[in-house]
Amino acid sequence: MTLILLAVMLSALTCVIAWYLAIYALPVMVAVETFRLIHATEAGFLLSAFAAATAALLSVGLVLMVLFKAENPILCLTARAIFVIPAIIAGYAIVHGVTHDAIESAVALKLLCGTAGLITGIAALMNLNGFGELAPQA
């Protein structure tokens, strides 16, 4: 019983951490994958890091540009999904990493991790909507 309580408390703590870091999920995932791709071509560490940083900035810039300029609601919804899905994956993974040894029931583990992923995705969406105040008024 105490192990389950500890798992729930650690899950709550990781959700709080993920809540504050959810806005960085898309650029971090893009940067990591870009670094891995460029570094695999034997381009060198500095060039790979520069390409990763550039890709991360461009990913966020592209999502924000689409949200600020697009009039098509389907395009805006797609941009929001592109921004939120990495946060959902990160929230799920962080809680699964903390609690997979403490919770024996696979169903309870999936429910807890899924809830954490949903909370993290909501946090990313709320943070993304906070950028709406920066949009130029037409």
User: How does pLDDT run across 24-37, given as a tens digit for each residue?
Assistant: 888 999 999 999 99
Give the pLDDT score at 134.
54
H or E element that contains 102? none
Alpha helical stretches, state H, the chain: 2-21, 25-40, 45-69, 73-99, 106-130
Domain ranges of the chain: 2-133
In this structure, the chain runs to a length of 138
pLDDT digits (tens, 9 = 90+) for 51-94: 999 999 999 899 888 888 888 889 988 988 988 999 899 889 98
Tell me the pTM. 0.77
For 101, other C-beta atoms within 10 Å of its C-beta total 10
